[in-house]
Chain A
């Protein structure tokens, strides 16, 4: 579920994801980032991820910063913006997650656990657990919205209607 910077060749074939439940695809962090956010975001985001995986100043292990797997037939991918450096591009500490390429908004609880817009009344120990639970809840028959489906515009004070 987690990419290792040192062992994964840059430019690995992104189509080699296993269709098996829980299996994960081995592909490059750069490729993953490109797929998620496009080249502009990668230039900003890649550096802090790599730094976080090396130095003693890393806020958390690199293992917790990226995932990319096929779960119950759905491609789930995520990256967590580094608190230190990627704030401008991605939002400090936020997970940016897609299910079959469509964004899924995650929220963090005070105890460090995560909940998604699909499964919104409990939380899970890791972001990956929360995304898998969202896939469980979607079942085989439902899809996230392509746009405005719980992305950055969901969950904030974007408007008052009263």
Chain B
């Protein structure tokens, strides 16, 4: 029986409480920090050698789908009623909206150190001390909307631009792919200023603090953001039923991308699963 992932703005007080409690329990056990580390370890950039699974590659979407499932399974071992809610940033667009309330994730960081001081993940609670991190500070940081140089969350039309593309991904299968749903959603631009971030990437920037760093998983909003990205993939599949994950086969011997990306039927490290096997999540969870 598939369980449901809900819009974070629709959670009841009890659902929020149970989600927070399960997250804090994973943190207390040390399991949470393994997820932070894993995301750092699998962030391989496309200007460097090596297999790219998590970012700047076709498997951006299935890699994060499986990553969320791992976290969700861990949460459900603590409390079987919990699932990862999604944050629809085309709807909940302000710093006081869901999920930034004191009964869920807390709000933005204070000046000048961007420390989050409200909600259950504030450092003073003693329950959310950052271990796998880029900076010295062991507290959660945010800079919602970047007030010093304001930036907007992606709009419905920004997202629509990605969803309209019927092709999943295109050569060269990296951050420079100018066509294809995957990079339009992942959001690697080439321009300066506001055009540098699109959709998924732009949301990381809007949240700021640890969310825009290599240790972004330290902010629990990471999961709600990626649940919505995952939902967008499902919506794209429903809209373009004749289209599937690409590439279907590994790049040929002459391709610069050979051995650097994961084709539809290849294993997706670190898991023993292929993108093909991750395309349909309907038997595990559904979106409400």
Question: Does B158 count as interface, using CB distance less than 8 angstroms?
Answer: no
- Residues of the B chain whose Cβ atoms lie less than 8 Å from the Cβ of A141: 111-114
Distance between B258 CB and nearest chain A CB, rounded to angstroms: 15
The residue among B48, B176, B271 with the most chain A CB atoms within 10 A of its own CB is B48
Which of these, B46, B204, B213, contacts A118 with CB under 8 Å? B213
Chain A residue nearest to B67 (CB atoms) is A162
Contact assessment for B135 and A144 in the assembled complex, using a CB-CB cutoff below 8 Å: yes
Interface residues of B in 72-111 (CB under 8 A from A): 111
Distance of A154 Cα from B36 Cα, bound (Å): 12
> Interface of chain A, helix or strand or loop or mixed?
loop
Contact assessment for B37 and A161 in the assembled complex, using a CB-CB cutoff below 8 Å: yes
- Residues of the A chain whose Cβ atoms lie less than 8 Å from the Cβ of B270: 160-162
- Contacts A120-B214, A141-B112 given: A155-B45 contact, CB under 8 Å? yes
Chain A 141-159: CB-based contact to B (< 8 A → 1; otherwise 0): 1111110011000111111
Question: Does B282 count as interface, using CB distance less than 8 angstroms?
Answer: no
- Residues of the A chain whose Cβ atoms lie less than 8 Å from the Cβ of B188: 109, 122-123
Distance of A120 Cα from B136 Cα, bound (Å): 17
- Contacts A118-B134, A142-B135 given: A157-B44 contact, CB under 8 Å? yes
Question: Does B278 count as interface, using CB distance less than 8 angstroms?
Answer: no
Distance of A156 Cα from B270 Cα, bound (Å): 13
Distance between B136 CB and nearest chain A CB, rounded to angstroms: 4
- Contacts A110-B46, A142-B136, A159-B41 given: A150-B190 contact, CB under 8 Å? no
Distance between B223 CB and nearest chain A CB, rounded to angstroms: 16
Query: Which of A20-28, A36-44, A75-83, A132-140 lies at the binding interface?
Result: A132-140
Distance between B128 CB and nearest chain A CB, rounded to angstroms: 17
Query: In the complex, which range does the number of interface residues on chain A fall in?
Result: 35 or more
Contact assessment for B205 and A122 in the assembled complex, using a CB-CB cutoff below 8 Å: yes
Distance of A159 Cα from B270 Cα, bound (Å): 9
Distance between A59 CB and nearest chain B CB, rounded to angstroms: 15
Contact assessment for B201 and A109 in the assembled complex, using a CB-CB cutoff below 8 Å: no
Interface residues of B in 161-189 (CB under 8 A from A): 172, 174-176, 187-189
- Residues of the A chain whose Cβ atoms lie less than 8 Å from the Cβ of B197: 121-122
Question: Does A119 count as interface, using CB distance less than 8 angstroms?
Answer: yes
Which of these, A108, A110, A111, A137, contacts B208 with CB under 8 Å? A137
Contact assessment for B50 and A122 in the assembled complex, using a CB-CB cutoff below 8 Å: no
Contact assessment for A158 and B212 in the assembled complex, using a CB-CB cutoff below 8 Å: no
Contact assessment for A107 and B47 in the assembled complex, using a CB-CB cutoff below 8 Å: yes
- Residues of the B chain whose Cβ atoms lie less than 8 Å from the Cβ of A139: 112-114
Chain A residue nearest to B31 (CB atoms) is A161
Question: Does B226 count as interface, using CB distance less than 8 angstroms?
Answer: no
- Residues of the A chain whose Cβ atoms lie less than 8 Å from the Cβ of B202: 121
- Residues of the A chain whose Cβ atoms lie less than 8 Å from the Cβ of B190: 111, 113
Contact assessment for A145 and B41 in the assembled complex, using a CB-CB cutoff below 8 Å: no
- Contacts A140-B112, A141-B114 given: A159-B133 contact, CB under 8 Å? no
Question: Does A85 count as interface, using CB distance less than 8 angstroms?
Answer: no
Which of these, A110, A119, A160, contacts B213 with CB under 8 Å? A119
Contact assessment for A111 and B175 in the assembled complex, using a CB-CB cutoff below 8 Å: yes
Contact assessment for A117 and B175 in the assembled complex, using a CB-CB cutoff below 8 Å: no
Chain A residue nearest to B112 (CB atoms) is A141
- Contacts A118-B134, A142-B136, A144-B135 given: A157-B50 contact, CB under 8 Å? yes
20 A-B residue contacts at CB 8 Å? A109-B188, A117-B134, A119-B213, A120-B213, A120-B216, A121-B212, A139-B113, A143-B137, A145-B135, A146-B136, A154-B134, A155-B41, A155-B214, A156-B50, A157-B50, A159-B41, A160-B41, A160-B269, A161-B35, A162-B70
User: Can you name 16 extra interface pairs (CB under 8 A) apart from A117-B214, A145-B133, A157-B41?
Assistant: A107-B47, A118-B134, A121-B187, A122-B188, A122-B196, A140-B112, A141-B111, A142-B114, A142-B135, A144-B136, A145-B136, A149-B136, A155-B43, A155-B44, A156-B44, A159-B37
